[in-house]
Amino acid sequence: MQAQLYTLKDPKKDSLNMEVLYDSLPIMCDSFYVMLLREDLSEMKKFVPRMKYLKSTFDTMAIEYREEQVVYRQQMLLRNLQKDYKKILKYSEKSRLNIKRLEKGKTIYDYGRDEQENKYCYVTVLCTKNRKEYELKYLAILLNGHWFVGDELKLVKL
């Protein structure tokens, strides 16, 4: 008996590569935490606003940005977030902290609005490892009804 292999015509996109948008801040924060535990820099891009969200936000604020300026802003957001994450990885290595074993505790949300009434939230996740306490902190931003990670990513021992 021989096995047959079927190939679908025009298969749907792999869901792993599909864009995920978060309407709920707690769900975005949980997903971001899980991504951090994997120690994979490439996954960070999923939490940074895409060009169309940045552009439409600038358009609603009546700010004129050329497309290359929007691309630059998006890349700077991603680069700064990755740089902060590398610092966390370096700190964890230096202090012999296995990030993959961090236990997530309570999450604290501190909401605010800027001068243009854009919503943001300072997120603090309390974590423990071997009776030591840590705070994972970052800024989340709301753009066109979807939450993204902004910057200021830090892991601090209490």
Q: What is the token pair recorded at 52?
A: 């169309």
Q: Helical H runs in 61-119?
A: 67-94
pLDDT for res 62: 46
19-60 pLDDT, tens digit each: 678 889 999 999 999 999 888 888 888 888 876 666 655 554
Strand partners, 120: 112, 141
pLDDT for res 64: 54
Over 80: is that where the pLDDT of 143 sits?
Answer: yes
Lookup result for tokens 């169309």: 52
Q: What is the token pair recorded at 146?
A: 């979807």
69-125 pLDDT, tens digit each: 667 777 888 889 999 999 999 999 998 888 888 899 999 999 999 887 888 999 999
pLDDT for res 75: 81
How crowded is the C-beta side of 3, counted as CA atoms within 13 Å? 2
- Report field, pTM of the whole predicted structure over 0.75: yes
